[in-house]
Amino acid sequence: MHLLYEEGGDIKIATLMSGSGTGAGSGSESEALAIESIGGKRGKLKAKDVWLRFECPASSSIQTFLPEAQSMAEGIDLDFVWECAGDGEFQFTDLAKEYFGESASDLEKTALAIALHGAPIYFRRKGRGQFMRAPEEQLKAALLAVERKKQELIKQASWEADLRAGQLPQEIAPLVNALLFSPDKNSTAYKAVLAASQGLKGGIAELFLKCGVLSSALAFHEGKFLKEHFPKGTGFNVTLGAEEETNWQTALNQLPVADVKAFSIDDATTTEIDDAFSVTPIAHLPEHYRIGVHIAAPGVAIARGGDLDQIARQRLSTVYFPGGKITMLPDQVIDVFSLHADATGQSSPLRPAVSLYVTINSEGVPILDGDHAPVTKVERVPMAANLRLDNLEDLVTEVSLLDEANAADLPYQKELAVLWRSAKQLHARRQEQRIASGLRAEVLGLPDPQALAKDFNFKVQDGVVDIKPRQRGSVLDSIVAEWMIYCNSTWGNQLAGHSVPGIYRTQKGWGPQRTRMQTMPGPHEGLGVENYSWCTSPLRRYVDLVNQWQLIAMAQHGVTAKLVAPFKPKDADLMAIAADFDGTYAAYADHQNQMERYWCFQYLKQLGLPWRGVVRHLKEGQARVEEIPLRLAVPELSAQARGARAEVEVLDIDFLALEASVRYVGLLDAGDSAGEGAESSTDDLEFHAEESSDQVQQASSANPSTD
């Protein structure tokens, strides 16, 4: 005797080995029947789980019985069976008599059981072998859904075929960005695109490149970043009218005018000029000077909670990348507050600024107490000049600053000489603190000429990139870096001393979180300063703008500043800003690095592939190309010391994955264990890329066609 039953969602047949065998309902319901499956596996089956007991007909065998029943089930007219079933629950064996006749065979009953079990939209399971037909309305809805699914599968197959042939279906064209960056994975379009992209290393992006709807790998990388961080576009949804600009000018006109002649030092392509200097002799103190560090003051007009604040709060920073940038503030705001001088040199326009005045003695050391202690003012500063590094950096040296014969070729020669003398003192004092923190001292000035260049200017125009190294550490570089560090440190100390909340950049100890933004004062061991708050770039960093609001309150209200400052002690929003800024700033930096990597690969492609050149080993098989800031994986160098030089060949480039196929040619120089000539330490990188000035980030975005 054989048994028909259901297990794991499938109809199965087994041979009864022992137990009651006198009908479907014979024996105790809980009786355990010993059975043997068609495949020969033995087991137990409760009698109550048996749907049908039957003998295999002489014309068939148990091995072919189930396949024959399944084949017969495919020919059963489910619509007619549904009509025959009537309302209420029924046993499949009873319905078999209605459909096949009173003499329905065991094979026909089994076929009907399989058909009913496999048609859940027509019939619902109500028990072992019992069913109930679906209500008519639900059946119609289900059949419509099945038909829609069938049509979707036909459409999906058609779209998939077109995509594989390199043709984009018209219906998919409007969905390209969504399919690339935020797809609905249940949609027919996504399923078709995903299926068509199988086997392509670059997935959907490579498929769209083949179809010609994605212009380049660059468009993919840029689109992915914009979709995540600028989903509504990079434009500004605020319009500044003439009335608002008039109100700004009224507020600015109330500020006192500084008795100085200020000048800035920036890269030629810098459009957001945040900082400037002034140097004023002190008449009654020979060789003493009053140094003014003047920072653009958008905080004078932008109010916390206003439209412009909401924009800056959302963006948190200007985004820099080769070939362009996405500014934190609208151009209308930058034009008003950037420390631009008159291009003709005929006048010195007054620009609003938060100024730090520091008196230095004849040796260039700041005087920290008494009548000449550092003081912060909110004022309008006459901008006399914008000095550009491109024109002066190579001319300004320690020797040239001391030779009065160079005065005609070096604008502000005397002022720069004073700033350089003081910068050396500021640097020396920082090194004392670095050493006290267990760090090695940094050398002021240009690095070892044999070391890898750390900074580069990227110029992108019409898809062609030019990459030029720019060694950090020149006199002008060091002046800006040291005075910005001193300014940020001094303002951090002043905020802490007045108990005015601020956002601090701290670095202490080791580990992945050693450098972070926080609302409590704290040391920056890498820079060798007690407190460090970012205040010198309010046009391009939101934390600097926040700190500027606090500084303005401190400068204008003194000891009562904490009562009137926009952010009060323990303000939860200030903590949220610090946390949000850290994550967003890191994401923007990652995008800049990724874009620089893309353009480095593009540069090699311009030179021609295969490209052969020299790399230096960093660590663990990672090496850097000597002439551009491109890292490559060279496993053959894993056992070599840091700084080992080798010749490699770049055979091919995957611009979507931003990876290259590299062939190791041979070792040129084994280097040394100290890693001379390799990339700078973490501390050096932070000093140059994070703390110096606007110049570093903006350099990589140089693009004459956009600026």
Q: Which residues contact 451 (CB under 8 A, 6 or more apart)?
A: 676, 677, 678, 680
Strand partners, 127: 130
Stated length of the chain: 707
Which one-letter DSSP state was computed for residue 261?
-
Greatest Cα pair distance in the chain: 126
pLDDT value, residue 407: 80
**62-76, 482-496, 622-636: which range is least confident on average?**
62-76
* Contact (CB, 8 A) for 197 and 214: no
The owner of tokens 């700004």 is: 248
At residue 512, the pLDDT reads: 65
Over residues 634-683, the pLDDT tens digits come to: 999 999 999 999 999 999 999 999 999 999 999 998 876 444 444 443 33
Instruction: Indicate the SS3 state at residue 602.
Output: helix
pTM over cut 0.85: no
pLDDT-above-90 percentage for the chain:
50
Distance CA(471)–CA(292), nearest Å, equals: 27
What's the confidence (pLDDT) of residue 511?
64
pLDDT for res 61: 79
pLDDT over threshold 90, residue 546: yes
Cα separation, 568 vs 560, in Å, equals: 12
Q: Which of 545, 541, 505, 552 is nearest to 525 (CA)?
A: 505
Residues above pLDDT 70, as percent of the chain = 92
**C-alpha angle 581/587/589, rounded to 5°?**
100
Quickly tell me which residue has 């089994």 as its tokens. 110
Of the candidates 15, 4, 144, 19, the residue with the CA atom closest to the CA atom of residue 69: 4
pLDDT in tens, 411-466: 999 999 999 999 999 999 999 999 988 888 888 877 777 788 888 889 999 889 99
What pLDDT is recorded for position 465?
94
How many whole angstroms separate alpha carbon 291 and alpha carbon 358?
5
Q: Report how far residue 540's alpha carbon sits from residue 327's, in angstroms, rounded to the nearest whole number.
A: 7
For residue 195, which phi and psi values (nearest 5 degrees)?
A: -65, -40
The token pair at 16 is: 């009864």
Q: How far is residue 338's CA from residue 97's CA, in Å, rounded to a whole number?
A: 92
Average pLDDT for 153-170: 91
Are 180 and 205 in contact, with CB atoms under 8 Å apart?
yes
What values do phi and psi take at 217, rounded to 5? -65, -30
Alpha-helical regions (H) of 437-505: 475-497
Among the residue ranges 98-102, 352-356, 482-486, the one predicted with the least confidence is 98-102
Of 186-195, 235-244, 296-305, 648-657, least confident by mean pLDDT is 235-244
Q: Among 100-109, 395-404, 446-455, where is mean pLDDT lowest?
A: 446-455
In contact, 461 and 704? CB cutoff 8 Å: yes
Q: What integer best gives the mean pLDDT of the chain?
A: 87
pLDDT winner (highest mean) among 17-31, 384-398, 462-476, 607-621: 607-621
Q: How many CB atoms lie within 10 A of CB 115?
A: 24
What does the block give as tokens for 326?
Answer: 């996405």
